[in-house]
Chains A and B, each alone.
Chain A
């Protein structure tokens, strides 16, 4: 039996190929020098968004139903998401890559959903070792609130001075309730003030007080807005039956102007004019004819299109390419005469000029005229060296600083684009500059580095998480792997029916239901943002992408053959191939 035992004991491993050695000894990565890098980039929506909201990041959270995380992310850049989510002119949506696929993602509605359904507290973004300073913020409009918010997050002591009884500026005294309910405003301002900001209401700052503030505070932020009406220059403007937009809207008893009026003419084509017209609609009877007339072409009105459409639904007549030349009537106004006009934009300055157009004059019956053709800042109380007299505004540089180094300014006072989001940006810019300066950093270097793409907006989160996203590379539609997306129409929120709107100041837009918002968030391509879909990880033929945590992937260059599948397949263009040495 000995022979048999010998053979049995023989090493079975040697009689046939039994292969156990790990193929990892073969460094197949040497086959190619091309290697991928995960390189989050900027989405065009974010580049366009003045507040620099991390839109794809937030929508990715919403798509998973996580409104809290979404809000936390949004609050890194935007102190007023519930407000922007209702009234912003959404340049993000205009730039959204999805426009080239089917239609834009309803970013604004989603921002609103995040603000309304989410629950989060803003994250303090200073370290205890940072220098702390003191700042007075004058004006509690979005510019002032934003400056105060970010300064507080950086750990500085802030006091807001507001001349009116309640904070909010135009948000409270201009934009009507049917677009921006008071409770939303209170909620958002409450969240800002809860950061430990002092608010002194009913305190109008005049030149004297300003001197006093200079003694008490290191820096002063000016955000007093633009409240003086721009006038038509026509001689017969000064009568009861002619009112100015913001004065009218902020008037405590504006209904008295409207009572019994049959023909109301609103002059102007911007948001203020629309709000004036729609407010007038709610204050007078349904029989009243309300006509909105502006020099721009219909369709080119500067107002946010949704608002205009809602105005039309509320039976407001809209007429373009006319400007008033005469108010007709004696003690009582009877008609307004308009002339044909066209608007020309100067390519260089971007300013509009009104030129005579072709066509007959227009005579419109009117027993009330509401003029909303712009507001100008009151620059009277400021040091002359910081005021631009010609354009009645305060000068600021790219850092939000006025020519006087302890003074910063923002919002409508600086006569940049008059919009909430731009006001927020200006406040953020000034806050960051002040913080950097107070800590001995050079804002001239840092602020451009935090600027999103070619746009003007700034990211605070980029300041904190330096380097996580390449802020200079904006993902183009053609770079996305759209094969992995489906064409679907956007989710639109509900609107209250036009009939009820004629008397009612309750909110017109219902916003998106939770579920609809989740569906809508899923439409987002998440351009340039990794959402941890794992496709690159799972589809690497060479198992060369290791997953090291949520949305953290590491490429193993020893084995990556540079096939570029990961880069090609990533639906969001996060990954790029680079030559490695």
Chain B
């Protein structure tokens, strides 16, 4: 029987994630924050493997393994069904990778967001198709090595948050495994809001980032502190707010611990810094605009 209002882990040990897996950490934190009255939709990704193979489950909650590009409508479908059956107190969460979100699932995600269907979408972004062996996705940052971008990806990382904000969904936020409390707070905030909620969580991957397995959390922290992955929220697609003021460490601190950036020369690192600064400024403009308008 489920217990209400208890904070407990809903993920079980013994799953098959790689040692140090950022996705596993994020899943664990998300589920902790959601509690037992939750149904999860998981699509092909590292998360689906972590959630375990038949007849085992690494989850203490009901879950469904949907298809790769349908995390969103699958979750929405369950959510409708629950509503039809008068079960309004159950949260439905879709858990998808970056490939499933930024690429193949973007259309259906956009559809549910447009209709503002009632569920939480969690994108666990490890910046490549990891489950299939480190191929680039549109979430892979510019210059990052993957097996399919041996010289580094040439396109920039898609700004999924702006895409989601453009749908004017009630709540979108970035979160990081380096800041577990902030992450869980955002999940709980999302849980309390009607409509489509989107959480973009950076989940460093030791295997795919060519990094020591003990460094995934530190990498997540560095991504925030270097402003590569700022922590912020967007309400109704318009009201932006920074939830954690980053220190603004040099991006090199973040890049240098990852083998996927090993090939970068000083000039490229410099450009990464400039691009990061520009992105940050643009985000900051959104925030200050909101403050000026007294929106937050």
- Interface check A567, CB cutoff 8 A: yes
Pick from A28, A543, A562 the residue with the most CB of B within 10 Å: A543
B28 touches A23 (CB 8 A): no
A535 at the interface (CB under 8 A from B): yes
Report yes or no: A542 in contact with B215, Cβ–Cβ below 8 A: no
Bound CA–CA A481/B225 (angstroms): 14
A563 touches B213 (CB 8 A): yes
**B12 & A28 in contact (Cβ 8 Å cutoff):** no
Cα–Cα, bound, A565→B15 (Å): 17
Q: B20, B32, B180, B247: which contacts A535 (Cβ < 8 A)?
A: B180
Nearest-Cβ distance from residue A553 to partner chain B, whole angstroms: 14
A544's nearest neighbour on chain B, judged by CB, is B13
A21 with B57, Cβ < 8 A, contacts A541-B21, A544-B13, A563-B20 known: yes
Closest-CB distance, B14 to chain A (whole angstroms): 4
Chain A residues in 8 Å Cβ range of B22: 541
Q: Considering the complex, which residues of chain B in the window 202-218 have a beta carbon less than 8 Å from any beta carbon of chain A? A: 213-218
B11 and A543 form a contact (CB under 8 A): yes
| A564 CA / B211 CA spacing, docked (Å) | 13
Contact B56 A25 (CB under 8 A): yes
Known: A563-B214, A568-B218. A542 touches B17 (CB 8 A): yes
Q: Which residue of A lies closest to B53 (CB)?
A: A19
- B160 contacts partner chain A, Cβ-Cβ < 8 Å: no
Contact residues in A for B21 (Cβ distance below 8 Å): 541
How many whole Å from A161's CB to the nearest CB in chain B? 57
Residue B52 interfacial (CB < 8 Å):
yes
Contact with A along B2-30 (1 / 0, CB 8 A): 00000001011111110111101100110
- Partner of A20 from the list B14, B20, B57 (CB cut-off 8 Å) is B57
Query: For the complex, what is the distance from the CA of A486 to the CA of B53, rounded to whole Å?
Result: 42
Q: Which residue of chain B has the shortest Cβ distance to A562 in the bound complex?
A: B19
Q: Is the CB of B12 within 8 A of A23?
A: yes
In the complex, whether A484 has a CB less than 8 A from a CB of chain B is yes
Q: Is the CB–CB distance between B54 and A541 below 8 Å? A: no
B177 sits at the interface (CB 8 A): yes
The answer to whether A17 touches B54 (Cβ under 8 A) is yes
Q: Determine which of B13, B177, B178, B213 lies in contact with A558 in the assembled complex, contact meaning CB atoms within 8 Å.
A: B13
Report the Cα distance A347→B155, complex, angstroms: 64
Categorize the interface residue count of chain A. Answer: 35 or more
Interfacial chain B residues near A25, Cβ < 8 Å: 14, 56
Which among B9, B22, B29, B214 has the greatest number of chain A C-beta atoms within 10 A?
B214
Q: What's the minimum C-beta distance from B101 to chain A, rounded to whole angstroms?
A: 21
* Contact partners of A538 in chain B: CB under 8 A: 28-29, 32, 180
Min C-beta distance of A578 to chain B, whole Å: 14
Q: Are B225 and A541 in contact (CB under 8 A)?
A: no
Which residues 1-52 in A have Cβ within 8 Å of B in the complex?
A: 17-28, 31-32
- CA A544 to CA B12, docked complex, whole Å: 9
* B10 nearest in chain A by CB position: A543
Q: Are B55 and A20 in contact (CB under 8 A)?
A: yes
A256 at the interface (CB under 8 A from B): no
Question: Do A23 and B25 touch (CB < 8 A)?
Answer: no
- Cβ of B221: which chain A residues have Cβ within 8 Å of it? 483-484
Contacts of A28 in B (CB 8 A): 13-16
Q: Is B222 among interface residues, defined by CB-CB distance under 8 A?
A: yes
A539 engages B217 (CB within 8 Å)? yes
A-facing residues in B46-86 (Cβ within 8 Å): 52-58
Tell whether, in the assembled complex, residue B56 and residue A23 are in contact, meaning their CB atoms are under 8 Å apart. Answer: yes
In the assembled complex, how far is the CB of residue B1 from the closest CB belonging to chain A, in whole angstroms? 15
Q: For the complex formed, measure the closest distance between the CB of B267 and the CB atoms of chain A, giving whole angstroms.
A: 26
CB–CB B216/A27 < 8 A:
no
The yes or no answer to A294 lying at the interface (CB within 8 A) is no
CB of A257 within 8 A of chain B? no
A569 touches B57 (CB 8 A): no
Contacts of B225 in A (CB 8 A): 483
CB-nearest residue of chain B to A25: B14
In the bound complex, do residue B57 and residue A19 qualify as a contact, i.e. CB atoms below 8 Å apart?
A: yes
With A19-B57, A539-B180 known to touch, is A569 a contact of B20 (CB < 8 Å)? no
Partner of B177, one of A481, A484, A539, A556: A539
How far, in whole Å, are A23 and B20 apart by their CA atoms in the complex?
18
CA A393 to CA B177, docked complex, whole Å? 61
* Chain B residues numbered 172-192 whose CB sits less than 8 Å from any CB in chain A: 177-178, 180
User: Chain B residues near A559 (CB, 8 Å)?
Assistant: 13-14
Question: Contact at A543–B55, with CB atoms within 8 Å?
Answer: no
A541 contacts B24, C-beta separation under 8 Å: yes
Interface pairs (9), CB distance under 8 Å = A17-B55, A22-B56, A23-B14, A539-B25, A541-B17, A541-B21, A541-B24, A542-B19, A559-B13
**A-B residue pairs, 9 tightest by C-beta:** A559-B13, A563-B20, A564-B214, A23-B14, A541-B24, A563-B19, A26-B14, A17-B54, A561-B19
Q: Which residues of B contact A (CB under 8 A)?
A: 9, 11-17, 19-22, 24-25, 28-29, 32, 52-58, 177-178, 180, 213-218, 221-222, 225, 247
Given contacts A26-B14, A486-B247, 17 further A-B contacts (CB under 8 A): A18-B55, A19-B55, A22-B14, A23-B57, A24-B13, A28-B14, A483-B218, A483-B221, A539-B180, A541-B17, A541-B20, A541-B28, A543-B12, A559-B13, A562-B19, A568-B217, A569-B217
